[in-house]
Amino acid sequence: MTPTVAVVGTLDTKGQEFAFLCEVIREQGCTPLLLDCGVMGEPFLTPDLPREEIARAAGEVAADLRSRGDRGAAVEAMARGAAQIVRQLYEDGKIQGIVSLGGSAGTTIGTAAMRALPFGVPKLMVSTLASGNTEPYVGTRDVTMMYSVVDIAGINRVSREVIRNAGGAICGMVKARAQAAPQEDRPILTATMFGVTTPCVTRAREKLEAAGYEVLVFHATGTGGRAMEDLIRDGLITGVLDVTTTELADELVGGVFSAGPDRLEIAGEKGIPQVVAPGALDMVNFGPMESVPERFRDRRLYVHNPTVTLMRTTPDEMADLGKIIAGKLNAANGPVTFFLPLRGVSAIDRTGQPFDGPEADEAFRSALKSHLSDRVKLVEVDSNINDPEFADAMVEELLHYLKESS
């Protein structure tokens, strides 16, 4: 079967460019399926799926969007519609990859459609914005962004090479995925890690892999937590070892590594077994020292490296975190155990270390215990989070849950 690639385009402004991209895709042995997501002007070429269908999927009428003259609202609507259409095309087996070209509007629409597709489906966005901050467009998905070098405005000696490479790249990805030899997949577990919880997670990962599981480790930098929970939401994950819940501290206090207010909720909603710990809750993250907000300059600060400054959480903040975590775990639909290390929650929260803070840690422990439901199991371990016995105890508990649920 010839692979089909969805080509998402604003054909009212970039007909020539998309026509050339489709030509390259055909030359590479794939079939382009062209979606018109333009609104404000007439399309320069005939698409396979017209704008009326895209708008309808978003609950809109294309002619109405045009008559209103609100370009921002039109882009938002077509992004929603493209996401709906593309997801359905994939679920119906009608596309095996997706590509788009664009400036700010085209990138918004194209990447919205890409983020609607599951992990592993080839996704390529050629964009004038790809050399800057791509987080709003990539999010937590495996979207490949390629800088257009010049504006996408006609076919010239630069844009021709960029678009030709893009067509070759998306077809190469689609074909490589189709030709990949099937593998015997092991059940997937997730774990969260920071540099200051690495010994714990490394030991746990090795033991879980030896027990026959594949362990995906996520760096708890905000995006990492969101990426993990997106995979859980997609139904790919069997169990969770959430050692490093530090993103909740950044969300509470205002650090740079927040994963949002919903962190630590999706596994509970899905009923997936989870074993949780307060890894790195002793810290809030900022950039270089000069980036720390003025209101925090008199706090206990630690330069982790030239680009990361850590701030010790206070007893009041730790008490708030205990209450927040208890509330999230209480709502879980599946089995959950919280492991509490009594000798520090990170590598620098030990006796004599920069963030040694028994008063703050005790405030967390007290608040957690007073708000935690009886149905959530609490295990206190007389160790630091990075001591081998702590990792071993967490692994044993998670394996117990996984055996029960299998």
- Of the pLDDT bands very low, low, confident and very high (cuts 50, 70, 90), residue 190 is very high
- From residue 96, alpha-carbon distances to 5, 93, 170, 176 in Å are 6, 7, 10, 11
Q: Does the structure show a pLDDT above 90 at 185?
A: no
More confident residue, 178 or 208: 208
Phi-psi region of 119 (alpha: psi -120 to 50; beta: other; left: phi over 0): beta
Work out the average pLDDT over 320-347.
98
Work out the average pLDDT over 157-179.
95
- Of the pLDDT bands very low, low, confident and very high (cuts 50, 70, 90), residue 109 is very high
pTM of the model: 0.82
Q: Are 4-179 and 188-405 the same fold in CATH?
A: yes
Q: Which residues pair with 4 in a beta bridge?
A: 31
Q: Does the structure show a pLDDT above 80 at 322?
A: yes
Work out the average pLDDT over 193-221.
96
Q: Does the structure show a pLDDT above 80 at 329?
A: yes
DSSP alpha helix (H) spans, 254-374: 266-270, 315-330, 358-371
Per-residue model confidence (pLDDT) at position 43: 83
Least confident range of 94-103, 177-186, 347-356: 177-186
Whole-angstrom Cα distance, residue 297 to residue 301? 8
Q: Are 256 and 222 in contact (CB under 8 A)?
A: yes
Per-residue model confidence (pLDDT) at position 195: 93
Per-residue model confidence (pLDDT) at position 69: 84
Using a pLDDT cut of 90, give the percent of the chain over it: 89
Per-residue model confidence (pLDDT) at position 182: 72
Type of residue numbered 241: L
Per-residue model confidence (pLDDT) at position 44: 85
Q: Does the structure show a pLDDT above 90 at 328?
A: yes
Q: Are 148 and 129 in contact (CB under 8 A)?
A: no
- From residue 157, alpha-carbon distances to 91, 103, 161, 164 in Å are 38, 19, 7, 11
Q: Does the structure show a pLDDT above 80 at 400?
A: yes
Work out the average pLDDT over 152-163.
93
Q: What would be the CATH architecture of the domain defined by 4-179? A: 3-Layer(aba) Sandwich (3.40)
Owner of token pair 């490589």: 176
Two structure tokens written together for 58: 């978003």
Q: Does the structure show a pLDDT above 90 at 184?
A: no
Two structure tokens written together for 170: 């998306």
Domain boundaries, the chain: 4-179, 188-405
Domain 188-405: CATH superfamily, name plus number: Uncharacterised protein family UPF0261, NC domain (3.40.50.12030)
Two structure tokens written together for 272: 């997936």
- From residue 94, alpha-carbon distances to 18, 73, 383 in Å are 20, 29, 54
